Structure 1
Amino acid sequence: MRSFTAHTGTAAPLRRSNVDTDQIIPGRYCATHRRTGYADGLFGDWRQDPGFVLNRPAHQGASILVAGEMFGTGSSREHAVWALQEFGFRVVIAPRFADIFRANSLMAGLLTVTLPRERVDALWETVEGAPDTEITVDLREMSVSAAGITDTFTLGADTRARLLAGLDQIDATLGFVDDIAAYEHSRRPGLPTSGTAA
């Protein structure tokens, strides 16, 4: 997984609230559990509209998505996160995320940043008026800045440390392999072990 320290990029303003995972990636694109091959399906139905934000030349190459309230509701499909990442997004900023979507994103290395609605409104207006405006999201400083807009965000210490190091949860757990082995060695005889048949 790529480490995330700070990212600077342009943004796509998605002025929609309650965007569910079926809108992020319609089910017809989710036939496999591979982690690649989903970019074409991102917002697949909405992208049929030439005026949709991701189709606008001014927002081509955006790596930050600025979305509305309750982004990522609906099913828990991880494909929604994979599609956003494969399309090129490194950060999604919104006033609030659905819990499962946010957990999936942070496990996969897609940074989800929660900012107050008024800050999101200000970012929308800024990038709509000047699409080449760059936004910097700094995980070290826990800050977002763009054209006179600055704010801070919060993230759990363990998740922040894992993202900064570029570790998924398995890699992070493997960092404790010696401690795990020592614990298993110290367990009372007769307790089940990972190698014990059911």
Structure 2
Amino acid sequence: MLLSVLVLLIAAWRFDWRVWLADKTRQHLCFGAAIALVPLWMLQAGVKEGLEVHFLGLTTLALMLGWRMGLLMGSLSLLLITLFGFETPEALGANLLLGVIVPLTFSYFVFLLTYSYLIRHLFVYIFVAGFFNAALTIAVKTLSFAGYMLWSGQYNGQTVMDNYLGILPLLLFPEALLNGMAITLLVVFRPQWMRTFFDRDYLVNK
């Protein structure tokens, strides 16, 4: 929990709050994105307590809001579902670090790699930074939680494999499709909402 709070403080410390507070549209977008994740994260499935799975949507959040605000709004979503009773307060630290900070940071890092080393094209943004990135992100989140469960001794390796990791292949394509479709719609109809999408890079002279 302390590590998670430290990361969030770093994200909030360097954020330009004056500009954000002056932009009501941006505020509504940020809080709307956080609220949109709540029902998505409520749709959990699992056999063992603590080994539930759900779709993330964090790749879309990272590409929409950027790393700093994405972390803060993702943390808000987690806090809400914890208050609603879908997650236990005791697991808040692990959920915050492994369920929000690690996967969202990884997702944003993949975007930075695509932006730096791949051709800046609309389809690269949608399919690589969006679609494939989302599949990798949910894999990182699932593997991180599996490692934590084994390290903490809550479950043995066979239980984690049978009841958690075994479900991962079934999540990859739906998670990728969900984020890919969301990013496609946003880029086409609301490109101004995407903090990481720039017309001059992805559309001009393409």
- Greater fraction helix: 2
TM-score of the pair, normalised by structure 2: 0.25
State TM-score, norm by structure 1. Answer: 0.25
> As a proportion of its length, which structure holds more strand?
1
